Amino acid sequence: MDALVLVVSIGLVLLGGGVLSQRARWPLPLVLIGFGILAGFLPFLRGIALPPELVLLLFLPALLYWESLNTSLREIRANLRTILLLSIVLVIATATVVAIVGHAFGLSWPMAIALGAILSPTDATAVSSFIGKLPRRSDTIARAESLLNDGTALVIYALAVGAAVSGTPIEPGPAVLRFFESYVFGALIGLAVGFAVAGIRRVLGPSRVLHTTMSLLTPFLAYLPAEALGVSGVVSVVVCGLLLSYFGPRIVSAAMREQSYQFWQFATYVLNGALFVLIGLELHPLMGELGSDWVEALVLGLLSAVVILAVRLAWSNTVPYLIRIVDRRPVQRTLRIGFRQRFPLAWAGFRGAVSLAAALALPTETAAGDPLPGRDVVIGVTFVVILFTLVVQGLPMKAIVRWARFPEDPREFDEELLAEQTLLERSLAKLPELTEQTSTSEEAAAAVRADLEHRLSLIHREEGHPEVAQHDDDESAAEQSLRLAIMEVKRNALVDLRNRGRIDDVILRRVQARLDLEELRLTGPPEEE
């Protein structure tokens, strides 16, 4: 009964918080955390704590999977060095500096390193909620960093917690080996699961329910084996999602894609919102556990938050210049951006529920049976840092993005026009063959040809984006049959453009959505299963 009360309460908070956020134009995460704190005063919600295993085993795989499905694989490859530096080297640097500060405040080295690992990764949920509209390259870097840096941080966290519990020091050699094993084998497991899921979905048949069920299971099929083997489940889920994002257009139909998209859009909204509500609810039991240590936690938390932000800002204004000195290739010069454009990414170092879950997952006792020293302080510090990043860094984020004055990316519009033009040209080239295959009358084929040629003539206009084609509701069944046959030609052309690097994954998904709408209009609503 208590679980049902909690679920209904979170649902009501999500509903009320969503309405207030829309009308007041306040960031939804902050509204939900505030509502969660207020809800914690209600008698039937008192003592509710955020189960760390719920975040690490249920929320995290699903959210990472959805983010990876909607990330640009081409942009990741083009900016892989930057992403790896941010998600690995910057995480290690941040964890090191925070550990030094924590040790200066009296934490043992293992607990100080654990604190650094907990606070070093950015949160994918918070980043996507606050960062707003960015150019493709900057958006991909921010998202990919927040997807991968959890893997780095959780490896450091496991090593530090093991040392804190056992009382043994961390040995650099085994730690480095463990890190590489975690990443490499996590990626291999993600690839294996991704190929297996792609194969399964090819033989599932036309059932939209089965495909949606398979989509729901996929992130956990990638995460659980990796974690069971002691490697990075985060990396496994992200690699699996990127692989399926690449193969998705060929193995998922329009109806299946539409249902799956609606499901994941709803599910991730609920999961994201529930995380922020639970963070707010967690404040009440946390204050009870801290007792007189809350002052130390507050001071160390604020100092850690400032240090984390300082390290990130220093990184964004030193490492790019070092790269320019080392790498002087002409292609590298095309990737350079100024201070204004780098600043939003540096500022967007939000921490969220994953950090809090990792802090709450700290063992309560050492191997000798003694209370784990510093545990409550670490949890309190984590909560303070999360609030600091969401409030102090989150509130001005949209203004900072506007101040950055990101230049328009002409490639995005050009690639979209290229896709539309290529699809229409391929359709016209294949039209005689398709007309014969579908036994379409010359009159109907002429009407379809005239429509395709008219749409092709509009491609070179300068204003706006290509729109979904509008057709008469009374067009003949022969025309509809021919148009459906053309759909396959268009989809193959679209995937071919993406595979040859002519268009980005983001453009593919955008044009694909328009093709899906057109196909569903021609076929009508799918039958209920």
pLDDT digits (tens, 9 = 90+) for 327-346: 877 777 777 788 888 999 99
3-state secondary structure of 371: strand
Q: What are phi and psi of 365, to 5 degrees?
A: -135, 155
Name the more confident of 24 and 300. Answer: 300
Residue 433 has pLDDT above 50, yes or no: yes
Q: Which helix (H) or strand (E) holds 104?
A: helix 90-104
| Cα 56 from chain centroid (whole Å) | 15
Report d(CA 318, CA 458) in Å as an integer. 47
3-state secondary structure of 113: helix
Amino acid type, 116: G
Question: What residues does 365 pair with on adjacent strands?
Answer: 371
Report d(CA 100, CA 94) in Å as an integer. 10
Residue 293 has pLDDT above 90, yes or no: no
Please compute the mean of the pLDDT values over residues 78-100 and round it to a whole number: 93
- And the tokens for 141? 């870097």
Q: What is the pLDDT of residues 450-504, one digit of tens each?
A: 989 988 888 764 444 455 445 554 566 778 888 889 999 999 999 999 999 899 9
- And the tokens for 356? 């809090």
Report d(CA 301, CA 163) in Å as an integer. 23
Name the more confident of 406 and 495. Answer: 495
3-state secondary structure of 251: helix
Residue 435 and residue 489 in contact, taking contact as beta carbons nearer than 8 Å: no
Nearest-Å Rg of the Cα atoms of the chain is 26
| Best CA proximity match to 427, nearest among 455, 463, 461 | 455
Whole-number pLDDT of residue 207: 85
Report d(CA 20, CA 7) in Å as an integer. 20
Report DSSP letters for 255-324, one per residue.
HHHHHHHHHHHHHHHHHHHHHHHHHHHHHHHHHHHHGGGHHHHHHHHHHHHHHHHHHHHHHHTTHHHHHH
Q: What is the pLDDT of residues 160-170, one digit of tens each?
A: 999 999 888 88
- Of all residues in the chain, the percent with pLDDT exceeding 90 is 39
Domain residue spans in the chain?
Answer: 2-404, 410-523
Report d(CA 61, CA 515) in Å as an integer. 30
DSSP 472: -
Q: Report domain 2-404's class.
A: mainly alpha
Whole-number pLDDT of residue 529: 56
Among the ranges given (245-249, 273-277, 287-291), the one the predictor scored with the smallest mean pLDDT: 287-291
Residue 466 and residue 514 in contact, taking contact as beta carbons nearer than 8 Å: yes
Q: What is the mean pLDDT of the chain?
A: 87
Structure-derived torsion over alpha carbons of residues 492, 493, 495, 498, reported in degrees to the nearest 10: 170
Report d(CA 155, CA 150) in Å as an integer. 9
Please compute the mean of the pLDDT values over residues 173-193 and round it to a whole number: 91
- C-alpha to C-alpha distances, 173 to 170, 176, 178, 192, nearest whole angstrom: 9, 5, 9, 28
- And the tokens for 18? 């969503």
Residue 3 has pLDDT above 80, yes or no: no
Whole-number pLDDT of residue 528: 55
Whole-number pLDDT of residue 1: 52
Report d(CA 35, CA 29) in Å as an integer. 10
| Best CA proximity match to 249, nearest among 495, 503, 424 | 495
Q: pTM (2 decimals)?
A: 0.88
Residue 224 and residue 211 in contact, taking contact as beta carbons nearer than 8 Å: no
Residue 97 has pLDDT above 90, yes or no: yes
Residue 224 and residue 257 in contact, taking contact as beta carbons nearer than 8 Å: no
Alpha-helix runs per DSSP H in 167-253: 172-202, 208-228, 233-251
- Of all residues in the chain, the percent with pLDDT exceeding 70 is 94
Name the more confident of 349 and 52. Answer: 349
pLDDT band at 378 (very low <50, low <70, confident <90, very high): very high
Please compute the mean of the pLDDT values over residues 173-195 and round it to a whole number: 92
Whole-number pLDDT of residue 460: 62
Please compute the mean of the pLDDT values over residues 297-313 and round it to a whole number: 95
